Amino acid sequence: MERTLVILKPDAVQRGLIGQITTRLEQRGLKLAGMKFIQIDHDLAAQHYAVHKGKPFYEGLIKYITSSPVVVQVWEGKRVIETVRRTCGATNPIDADLGTIRADFAVEIGRNLIHASDGAETAAYEIPLYFKEEDLVTWSRVTDQWIME
Ligand code: UDP
Ligand code: MG
């Protein structure tokens, strides 16, 4: 079982897209393990995006992610990291395939609505920035057998 971190970024919250974006993940059959509504401060943003420090878009990215509240979620399942990334679409919404969240709701890379961990190591780094292990819920769902063999 894998876990991945998702952030519905400030633009998703401000535009009233929390429900519609979360629905995209739910309707694929992915299972939620944790969720909270928070405002990311500068320190947390710097930890989260440490890998991008020094890049031309870094300062703008930190300003963006700390500018307004976000919804942070953990989703759990087999190959969930890749599944969520593909549901989000390419980083630049212009390049994202139609039917993905970024293509269907966004137009610019700097306002691309959603973050998702890009690999197992990244997920293992990112999830504890937001959730303690005991905050995450492992639960069985009556529909599981109709979603996974
Ligand atoms: N970003 C940006 N301009 C760029 C590249 C990235 O504003 O040229 C922002 C964008 O919000 C992106 C985030 O920085 O989602 C992190 O970039 P990354 O390459 O990790 O993309 P992601 O993993 O979010 O698809
Ligand atoms: Mg990334």
pLDDT of residue 39: 98
* Closest ligand to the CA of 111: 1
Average pLDDT score over residue span 74-97: 98
Average pLDDT, the chain: 98
Q: What is the pTM of this model?
A: 0.98
pLDDT of residue 2: 97
- For ligand 1, say whether the CB of 106 is within 6 Å of any of its atoms: no
pLDDT of residue 22: 98
Domains and CATH numbers, the chain: 2-41+68-139 (3.30.70.141)
Kindly report, residue by residue over 124-139, the tens digit of the pLDDT: 999 999 999 999 999 9
DSSP assignments along 54-104, one per residue: TSTTHHHHHHHHTSS-EEEEEEEETTHHHHHHHHH--SSTTTSPTTSHHHH
Residue of the nearest CA to atom 13 in ligand 1?
61
Average pLDDT score over residue span 120-126: 98
Residue of the nearest CA to atom 12 in ligand 1?
91
115 as an active site residue: the answer is: yes
Residue of the nearest CA to atom 18 in ligand 1?
91
The residue type at 45: A
